[in-house]
């Protein structure tokens, strides 16, 4: 826009400047012609049109007036106003007004025996400035029309040119975090090929890293679980021996510690498996939440009976695409937490189904509840509420949060029915 404006102004001055130069030359020639016809008779300056010399300017093109330094008209056209010359050269150009028109004039001062005289000439030809101004406006108008058309063409060109990039972006955006397939390099334009090659190399590195980490977790799980299970079995046998009666209290403390160690190890491994970086390449399948909830409730039924807790189930059919083992871990941690904090005679209800089109899992208990101020903090790893019963590791809800984030689900913690206990719901997208 600035270049178009500058170009229009240059075009305008290029049109006006030749006319101004031509007018200045005409005014100077007319002034010299008038001076050649000026004479002094009887001490007075007069204008002799018949004197030898160049012809006087035509009144159709140039008007002139001869005046003394005081501005008194000595000869010529009285419509030409007096314009005193300035500067050492005694001449100069100016714009004067004649009959409601602005015209260019030239004033020359010269000496005569009767004193100094002023000759003013004025160019009264039709001016070129209106045409130049019209030319300026038409030039600017056309330049801005061209600019608008160019911007439209550039916008269309960019939109068309960026279509392959938009398609590539959409293809990557629509992929799930678990999809690390290589992008087809033959379907992208030449300019984007290096980017796609680099992305495919990155995907390959991630696949290798994920496989390595999954193998490490599998090996770690085996190495930890096997000796802990053996230690628990040996301790159970030892406690059944009559010789262990004197130290049975200590053995029970040791047994509780080993049980807690096994539980913490399992939770740590579950937390590692729930990490998104580990599950990038996980293969999901449709998981029936109602069936999964029923299986988990069956696992905890004996524990609920021993604790005198009413463990109930309220489910309707609902499925989500996920790793069954991770959904199982999520439910186990929710139910384990609920049973751990619900006192004897309380109630724990596991529900699953669909609400407003979204699949959900929820566990509600009649325990002490979670204060609203701590509902965000309990999601953090290793955080336990003050004065919490038992010897939990503070990883249960952290595992639930990690698995929910992996599948884009939201975890809400609210009070249970009638404001009692806690209700934790996981809603899937």
Q: What are phi and psi of 413, to 5 degrees?
A: -120, 115
* Unique residue bearing structure tokens 């977790």: 217
**CB count in 10 Å sphere of residue 173:** 7
Say how many residues make up the chain: 429
CATH architecture of the domain formed by 284-427:
2-Layer Sandwich (3.30)
Tens digit of each residue's pLDDT (9 = 90 or more) over 320-350: 998 888 899 899 989 988 998 899 999 999 9
Task: Give the chain's residues under pLDDT 70.
Answer: 42-43, 69-70, 84-90, 114, 127-132, 176-178, 214, 217-218, 221-222, 271-283, 382, 386-394
Kindly give the residue spans of alpha helices, DSSP state H, lying in 162-247: 163-174, 193-239
pLDDT at position 251: 84
Tens digit of each residue's pLDDT (9 = 90 or more) over 250-299: 888 888 888 777 777 777 777 666 666 555 555 578 999 999 999 999 99
The closest alpha carbon to 92, from 131, 125, 55, 119, belongs to 119
* Unique residue bearing structure tokens 């309380």: 346
Is the domain 2-131 a CATH 3.30.450 member?
yes
pLDDT at position 168: 86
pLDDT at position 390: 57
Q: What is the DSSP letter of 178?
A: T
> The tokens of 112 are what?
């005569």
pLDDT at position 288: 93
pLDDT at position 317: 93
Residues 77 and 69: their CA atoms lie apart, in Å, by: 17
pLDDT at position 275: 64
Give 90's contacts (C-beta < 8 A, 6+ positions apart): 108, 109, 110
The closest alpha carbon to 278, from 175, 403, 183, 376, belongs to 403
Residues 15 and 139: their CA atoms lie apart, in Å, by: 12
pLDDT at position 88: 47
Stretch (H or E) spanning 336: helix 324-341
* Unique residue bearing structure tokens 């809603």: 427
Q: Where are the domains of the chain?
A: 2-131, 208-272, 284-427
Whether 35 contacts 48, CB under 8 Å: no
Residues 129 and 230: their CA atoms lie apart, in Å, by: 106
Burial zone of 135 (CB within 10 Å; 0-12 exposed, 13-18 middle, 19+ buried): middle
Angle, vertex CA 280, rays to CA 170 and CA 192, nearest 5: 35
């Amino acid at each position: 826009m600035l270049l178009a404006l500058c170009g229009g102004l240059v075009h305008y001055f290029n049109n006006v400047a030749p006319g101004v130069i031509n007018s200045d030359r005409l005014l100077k020639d007319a002034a010299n012609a008038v001076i050649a016809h000026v004479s002094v008779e009887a001490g007075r300056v007069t204008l002799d049109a018949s004197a030898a010399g160049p012809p006087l300017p035509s009144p159709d093109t140039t008007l002139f007036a001869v005046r003394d330094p005081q501005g008194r008209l000595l000869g010529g056209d009285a419509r030409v106003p007096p314009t005193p010359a300035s500067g050492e050269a005694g001449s100069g150009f100016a714009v004067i007004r004649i009959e409601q028109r602005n015209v260019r004039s030239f004033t020359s001062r010269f000496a005569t025996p009767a004193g100094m005289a002023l000759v003013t000439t004025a160019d009264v030809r039709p001016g070129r400035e209106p045409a130049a101004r019209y030319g300026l406006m038409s030039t600017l108008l056309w330049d801005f029309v061209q600019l608008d058309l160019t911007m439209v063409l550039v916008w269309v060109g960019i939109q068309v040119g960026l279509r392959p990039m938009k398609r590539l972006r959409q293809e990557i955006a629509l992929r799930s975090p678990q999809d690390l397939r290589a992008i087809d390099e033959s379907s992208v334009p030449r300019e984007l090929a290096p980017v796609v090659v680099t992305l495919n190399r990155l995907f390959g590195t991630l696949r290798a890293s994920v496989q390595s980490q999954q193998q490490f977790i599998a090996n770690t799980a085996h190495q930890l679980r096997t000796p802990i299970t053996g230690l628990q079995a040996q301790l159970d046998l030892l406690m059944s021996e009559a010789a262990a009666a004197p130290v049975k209290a200590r053995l029970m403390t040791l047994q509780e510690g080993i049980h807690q160690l096994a539980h913490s190890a399992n939770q740590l491994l579950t937390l590692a498996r729930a990490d998104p970086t580990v599950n990038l390449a996980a293969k999901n399948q449709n998981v029936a939440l109602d069936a999964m909830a029923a299986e988990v409730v069956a696992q905890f039924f004996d524990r609920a009976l021993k604790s005198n807790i009413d463990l109930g189930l309220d489910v309707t059919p609902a499925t989500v695409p996920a790793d069954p083992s991770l959904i199982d871990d999520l439910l186990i941690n929710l139910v384990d937490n609920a049973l751990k904090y619900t006192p004897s005679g309380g109630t724990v209800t596991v529900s699953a189904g669909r609400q407003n089109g979204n699949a959900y899992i929820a566990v509600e208990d009649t325990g002490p509840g979670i204060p609203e101020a701590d509902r965000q903090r309990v999601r953090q790893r290793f955080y336990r509420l003050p004065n919490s019963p038992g010897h939990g590791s503070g990883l249960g809800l952290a595992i639930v949060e990690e698995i929910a984030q992996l599948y884009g689900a939201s975890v809400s913690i609210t009070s249970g029915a009638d404001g009692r206990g806690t209700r934790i719901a996981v809603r899937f997208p």
